[in-house]
Structure 1
Amino acid sequence: MSKAKPSYGNESISSLKGADRVRKRPGVIFGSDGLEGCEHAVFEILSNSIDEAREGHGTEIITTRYADGSIEVADHGRGIPIEWNENEQRYNWELVFCELYAGGKYKNDTGENYEFSLGLNGLGTCATQYSSEYMDVTVIRDGFEYGLHFEKGENKTGTKEGYTKKATNARKTGTTIRWKPDLEVFTDINIPVDYYLDTLKRQAVVNSHIKFVLKNQVGSRYETTEFLYQNGIVDYVTELAGENPLTSVQFLEGERRGRDRADKAEYKVKLSCAFCFSSAVSQIEYYHNSSWLEHGGAPDKAVRSAFVSAIDAYLKQNNKYNKSESKVTYQDIFDSLVLVTNCFSTQTSYENQTKKAITNKFIQEAMTEFLKEGLEIYFIENKAEADKIAEQILINKRSREQAEKARLNIKKKLSGNIDLANRVQKFVDCRTKDASRRELYIVEGDSALGSVKQGRDSEFQAIMPVRGKILNCLKADYDKIFKNDIITDLLKVLGCGVEVRGKAAKDLSAFDLESLRWHRIIICTDADVDGFQIRTLILTMLYRLVPTLIEQGYVYIAESPLYEITYRDKSYFAFDESEKAAILKKLEGKKILIQRSKGLGENQPEMMWETTMNPENRRLIRITPDEAAATSEMFDLLLGDNLAGRKEYIAENGADYLELADIS
């Protein structure tokens, strides 16, 4: 008999209470129940100490990462109020550590206690406490030291008041919070040291008068790192731009008052921005009330609008555009811009609790006008630098347009697979359409095409001849590469498009592994110096244009025999000197004929099948990415532009390969 389903009535509705509001739904508060949420909890505690220091209470914040996974943040602020609160008729420790949406930053809309607050919503401290295995709090204020101990969201201090209290002679006030994130709440609590280094550095950048110290416990010792940027974002932009920026670093600052909507309260925003232009570096970072806005929001929209407007106006006013030339885009500017904004406001609308973007309409409008005005003045007062900027932005723009044109041409060249044999000269396809069986033999020249074509299994083996030595793709630029018919024909046959790594040709990338028409790509060249060079050039082409095929193990080299040894009507094939010696020993005393292997084009079809194409007998060398870094370095050294390095390598190692040299 089946059980009756429970009824859905008045008793069915329930709510989470106390610590369960966070412990059972951490993603709602922290944005994730994984490592990212655990990291955000750290930032929430750190934010409160930053707010205190920024209001002038303390100049140093010490964060300790303990080996057991616990974390401690200590400041020299005023100390969190702990005792009885007459207005709320509760203890302050309850409001701060056990009540969501409570805190010292709600006095009025303009921020009576904290003018520019990072931790404004009253969630962080309480939510972190609720999500911890334990939390220990030490507060020094008013001549006393207070202590609190929580476990899994409950106060376990063991006193009637919920805290301990003792007199102290300590001169400095402050709050120290140590806690351990709970694995019952988060799926991962092992926060890497890089997170702390990155976060504390960013906070030092935007809080120039505060020293941030990280103590990382490793075994029984502590590794200490300090961050302090005396000139804030100006020093940081200088660091990012490196040794040879295109322009000097500019700093703009100002204040505005306004409102997001006519019926909303007016608030204040403090704006600052440091930037310069570079021909080698591009980086943009936005901060608001000390929080790094990973996704930007209002500041990003303001920067895009202001910089495009101001630079486009300058280009037009100074006749920098060619006739009928299109307007610059933000991407053209971004490619050479190093910029950091650091803004504060008494009211902030974050996109969500994780504070990775803000949405204030007034901040966006105020910042747009602020930047446009600053840029116009900068261009007028620094004509030489403005001209440099204009020249670089136009170079970026024209390079982008050229790359886009090249991308469209490549896409047109490489697209489609209808009547492939009719569009690629001398390509010989196989019958099966099953990509998991198809093999492509890339062979050397038309003469090899004949013997390989006759010696293959036409059901699953296709032939693509390359005519002579192809272009060295490590030395040539993309425009030259894609004008080469041999290369574009081969890419058509492969069918998967191209992938171009790096900033230079991001618009060219059109790679799709699912469209690859082959299970194996087999390079088959003569066993001589010319054959080895052609093989290397083909590998170089694949390495630069479709490296994933090598990484995924689709590329092979077919070994061809060096010697054919004939005894009566039977042939033996030796692929190296040791195999030759073994065969000769086996046939010792017999009348034999030894022939050095001919080029592929001179081989009989039967021999080609038996030695190079028959899956039962052939020898294939699979090209693997195991030594990818070493392979990349050697390709660049031997086939790239480093002439001095190549000469040095040949001088040191050339003797090892002298026997293989084609010297007559």
Structure 2
Amino acid sequence: MAKKNAAYTNESIVSLKGADRVRKRPGVIFGSDGVDGCAHSIFEILSNSIDEAREGYGDRILITKFKDHSVEVEDFGRGMPVDYNKAENRYNWELLFCEMYAGGKYTAGAENYEYSLGLNGLGLCATQYSSEWMTADVYRDGFHYHLDFQKGENVGGLQKEPSTRRKTGSRIRWKPDREVFTDIDVPSSAYLDVIKRQAIVNAGVTFVFTDESGPERTVTEFCYQKGIEDYVEEVANLESLTPVQFCQSTAEGRDREDRPDYKVKMSAAFCFSNKTQLLEYYHNSSWLEHGGSPDKAVKTAFVAQIDAYLRSKGLYKKNESKIKFEDVQDCLIFVSSSFSTQTSYENQTKKAINNRFIQQAMTDFLKHNLEVYFLEKPDEAQKIAQQVLVNKQSREHADKVRQGAKKALTEKIDIANRVQKFVDCRSKDLSRRELYIVEGDSAMGAVKTSRDSEYQAIMPVRGKILNCLKADYDRIFKSDIITDLIKVLGCGVELRGKSKKDLSSFDVNNLRWNKIVICTDADVDGYQIRTLILTMLYRLVPTLIEDGYVYIAESPLYEIESKGHTYFAYTESEKTEFLERIGDAKYTIQRSKGLGENDPEMMWLTTMNPASRRLIKVTPTDAKRTAEVFDLLLGDNLAGRKEHIAQHGCEYLDELDVS
């Protein structure tokens, strides 16, 4: 509870000054005080070198990551001006490294950096302020300039000496400060991702990343001579429906009537594919992870032009609904790169832009080029239209499945709507509740009489359920056994469509059980039913397996009686070990009965009692491998299954139940 007499006076209001403006609030500038914010601070320095290269000064940028987490960025541009500035009556290095909102990108009417990645004059200063130390070496005007900083403060002023080096440029090395960022270990994969993206949208500029942080020094080079056009070719990988189209244009306009005009430069590369889909937007070289204006333009333009084509060619059926962007996106590889002299970013991290004029300019630009493309390439237009219609039919089918699945699976289990033969337990404590999935009505009876009805519930499956690996969703949800079981689980299903989006809701928090126990006979039929149930769970609710909710009740293979006692052997080796242990004592041994033939006391002892039962937790540590095994055993790969049986069948000859 707050103190009632806490002082809150005029002197309570303070302002952060100097380096504290960044060091105490890094998230405001970099979007985070964690590793993502640290990565963004690195990008701020790289951005300045990119701006130089794009203006035509230098075509090579070197980035180095060192073992101590320090970073170096070197370019071969004009070299930043750091000497005395008569107009400002200060040294430029003070403005660039120690002054927020200062730089060479504010001068009205100046040609420098007309289309710039960094406009706010924050990046270099903010990164310097957030560093443990920083050094800068600048080569220009026949001089070598050197600067040192420690925790946001300059050490030793500007050092200047004549230089015979012919190349100009800037080299900055710094170490992000752990006092500012909670984590400065930016993974090499993050460097590679950012550098590759910059190579994509800065045609002809070579980026060299040297990684000295690992056990061995590695060097990776990126260069796309034709920029986004080469990149789309790379993504399509010679498997596209249509060749790559490249278009570019410029426009001039304003976001509001009372605002000044600004310039926009736009380029786009795209093709259509039934195997790969990609949407990427860049603005002033910055990857727009959240899109904004370009994304809205693409959705509007592509839907409008493809819809117009379909109508003009009479390809819609009577009363058929209009296509949606999802139908286009599922076969579209699209990358755009735009630049503007004014940009409205959502925030300093530059993950989206919201300029109204850019959105309208790009919409008009794309609609015009698509219209021309469809006229000039009628065969390609026909291919595109047919694929979009196929995608539309798939989406509409998926929508029907989703609606049907939701209706079938989200009905509450109550007195008026009970799942047939499901037997609930009394406890409402989710940490205790267990669901036993048992094989058939006879096993159901045995388990019901031997269970602890306080926390153990029973759901029988009647016979061999549908192979969910091979069946489509329509057929799966027509199976009463499957829909009843999903209702009992209570958490919904995880269905995946072509676009990898969920087709129906799944919420593990709605799961009504702490354990889901599959309980089948220890014979061939029982193993097959168990595998089919696991396959169903793997396809429809894989999270339950991944999170460790699913178990298998291990049933004994043999009952051994000796000296008035009954013992159970769950494996052949256990049977052999027990017989060796009792030596010459008399015993009887028989294969264990099916679950439905066991008396309640035995069922409780071997299958239900937490103190004596054996449960195997189903934990697929490698989901891909699990899917491969399921496919091999139950899928359409007949040749692979035959080969597997030929190689491994002999291992199970002793377990065959034949007479």
8 Å CA contact 1:404–1:507 kept in 2: the answer is no
Give distance in 1, aligned partners of 2:586 and 2:61. 90
Give distance in 2, aligned partners of 1:656 and 1:434. 44
* 1:377 paired residue among 351, 372, 376: 372
8 Å CA contact 2:405–2:504 kept in 1: the answer is no
Give the CA deviation at 1:389.
1.1
Q: Which amino acid in the other structure matches residue 33 of structure 2?
A: D
8 Å CA contact 2:413–2:488 kept in 1: the answer is no
Aligned to 1:327: 322
Residue 196 of structure 2 corresponds to residue 208 of structure 1: no
Q: 1:81 to 1:537 in 2, by over 3 A?
A: same
Q: Which amino acid in the other structure matches residue 112 of structure 1?
A: E
Give the CA deviation at 1:265.
1.7
Aligned to 2:117: 118
Q: 1:533-579: per-residue Cα shift (whole Å, max 9, x none)?
A: 11111111112211222222222222223233446865443333444
Aligned to 2:423: 428
Aligned to 2:107: 107
Give distance in 2, aligned partners of 1:377 and 1:3. 72
Give distance in 2, aligned partners of 1:45 and 1:124. 7
- 3-state SS of the aligned residue for 1:165? strand
Q: 1:98-140: per-residue Cα shift (whole Å, max 9, x none)?
A: 11111111121x5422221111111111111122111111111
Aligned to 2:9: 8
Aligned to 2:75: 75
Q: 1:185 to 1:582 in 2, by over 3 A?
A: closer
Give distance in 2, aligned partners of 1:616 and 1:364. 66
* 1:199 paired residue among 194, 197, 205: 194
8 Å CA contact 1:420–1:493 kept in 2: the answer is no
Q: Mapping of 1:395-474 within 5 angstroms?
A: 395-419=390-414, 423-474=418-469
Residue 300 of structure 2 corresponds to residue 301 of structure 1: no
Give the CA deviation at 1:57.
1.0
Q: Mapping of 1:179-328 within 5 angstroms?
A: 179-218=174-213, 222-328=217-323
Give the CA deviation at 1:213.
0.9
Give the CA deviation at 1:211.
0.7
Q: 1:292-345: per-residue Cα shift (whole Å, max 9, x none)?
A: 111111111111111111111111111111111111111121111111101111
Q: 1:662 to 1:381 in 2, by over 3 A?
A: farther
Aligned to 1:64: 64
Q: 1:420 to 1:388 in 2, by over 3 A?
A: farther
Q: Could you tell which deviates more after superposition, 312-321 or 587-596?
A: 587-596
Give the CA deviation at 1:526.
1.6
Q: 1:606 to 1:247 in 2, by over 3 A?
A: same
Give the CA deviation at 1:235.
0.6
Q: Mapping of 1:630-645 within 5 angstroms?
A: 630-645=625-640
8 Å CA contact 2:434–2:457 kept in 1: the answer is yes
Q: Which amino acid in the other structure matches residue 536 of structure 2?
A: M
Q: Mapping of 1:12-51 within 5 angstroms?
A: 12-51=12-51
Aligned to 2:483: 488
Give the CA deviation at 1:510.
2.0
Give distance in 1, aligned partners of 2:499 and 2:246. 30
Q: 1:171 to 1:651 in 2, by over 3 A?
A: same
Give distance in 1, aligned partners of 2:6 and 2:451. 68
- 3-state SS of the aligned residue for 1:648? helix
Q: Which amino acid in the other structure matches residue 640 of structure 1?
A: G
Where does the alignment leave 5 or more consecutive residues of structure 2 unmatched?
A: none
CA RMSD in angstroms comes to 2.3
Aligned to 1:520: 515
8 Å CA contact 1:299–1:367 kept in 2: the answer is yes
Give distance in 1, aligned partners of 2:443 and 2:460. 8
- 3-state SS of the aligned residue for 1:453? helix
Aligned to 2:97: 97
The TM-score normalised by the length of structure 2 is: 0.94
Aligned to 1:150: 149
Give distance in 2, aligned partners of 1:7 and 1:585. 84
Where does the alignment leave 5 or more consecutive residues of structure 1 unmatched?
A: none
Give distance in 1, aligned partners of 2:172 and 2:625. 48
Q: 1:366 to 1:590 in 2, by over 3 A?
A: closer
Q: 1:358-388: per-residue Cα shift (whole Å, max 9, x none)?
A: 1221111111101001111111111111111
8 Å CA contact 1:237–1:339 kept in 2: the answer is yes
Q: 1:567 to 1:47 in 2, by over 3 A?
A: closer
Q: 1:479 to 1:147 in 2, by over 3 A?
A: same
8 Å CA contact 1:403–1:507 kept in 2: the answer is no
How many equivalent residue pairs?
Answer: 657
Q: 1:84 to 1:478 in 2, by over 3 A?
A: same
Q: Which amino acid in the other structure matches residue 15 of structure 2?
A: S
Give distance in 2, aligned partners of 1:37 and 1:576. 55
Q: Could you tell which deviates more after superposition, 128-137 or 572-581?
A: 572-581
Q: 1:320 to 1:111 in 2, by over 3 A?
A: farther
Q: 1:380-419: per-residue Cα shift (whole Å, max 9, x none)?
A: 1111111111111111122112111111111111113332
Aligned to 1:657: 652
Give distance in 2, aligned partners of 1:124 and 1:75. 16
* 1:349 paired residue among 344, 353, 359: 344
Q: 1:260-301: per-residue Cα shift (whole Å, max 9, x none)?
A: 222222221111000111111111111111111111111111
Q: 1:493-526: per-residue Cα shift (whole Å, max 9, x none)?
A: 2222112356466343322222222222222212
Give the CA deviation at 1:74.
0.8
Q: 1:540 to 1:80 in 2, by over 3 A?
A: same
Q: Which amino acid in the other structure matches residue 350 of structure 2?
A: K
- 3-state SS of the aligned residue for 1:231? coil
Give distance in 1, aligned partners of 2:453 and 2:658. 39
Q: Which amino acid in the other structure matches residue 520 of structure 1?
A: K
Q: 1:164 to 1:99 in 2, by over 3 A?
A: same
Give distance in 2, aligned partners of 1:657 and 1:137. 70
Q: 1:621 to 1:317 in 2, by over 3 A?
A: same
Q: Which amino acid in the other structure matches residue 132 of structure 1?
A: S
8 Å CA contact 2:134–2:149 kept in 1: the answer is yes
Q: Which amino acid in the other structure matches residue 46 of structure 2?
A: L
Q: Which amino acid in the other structure matches residue 244 of structure 2?
A: V
Q: Which amino acid in the other structure matches residue 539 of structure 2?
A: R
Q: Which amino acid in the other structure matches residue 281 of structure 2?
A: Y
Give distance in 1, aligned partners of 2:330 and 2:273. 8
Aligned to 2:169: 174
Q: 1:47-106: per-residue Cα shift (whole Å, max 9, x none)?
A: 111111111111111111111111111111111112211111111111211111111111
8 Å CA contact 1:430–1:460 kept in 2: the answer is yes
Give distance in 2, aligned partners of 1:494 and 1:3. 51
Give the CA deviation at 1:645.
2.1
Aligned to 2:85: 85
Q: 1:183 to 1:519 in 2, by over 3 A?
A: closer
Q: 1:456 to 1:272 in 2, by over 3 A?
A: same
Give the CA deviation at 1:422.
5.3
Q: 1:615-645: per-residue Cα shift (whole Å, max 9, x none)?
A: 3332222223345454333222222232222
Give distance in 1, aligned partners of 2:294 and 2:499. 27
Give distance in 2, aligned partners of 1:448 and 1:5. 70
Q: Could you tell which deviates more after superposition, 575-584 or 459-468?
A: 575-584
Q: 1:452 to 1:13 in 2, by over 3 A?
A: closer
8 Å CA contact 2:494–2:502 kept in 1: the answer is no
Q: Could you tell which deviates more after superposition, 213-222 or 446-455?
A: 213-222
Give the CA deviation at 1:590.
6.4
* 1:479 paired residue among 457, 474, 479: 474
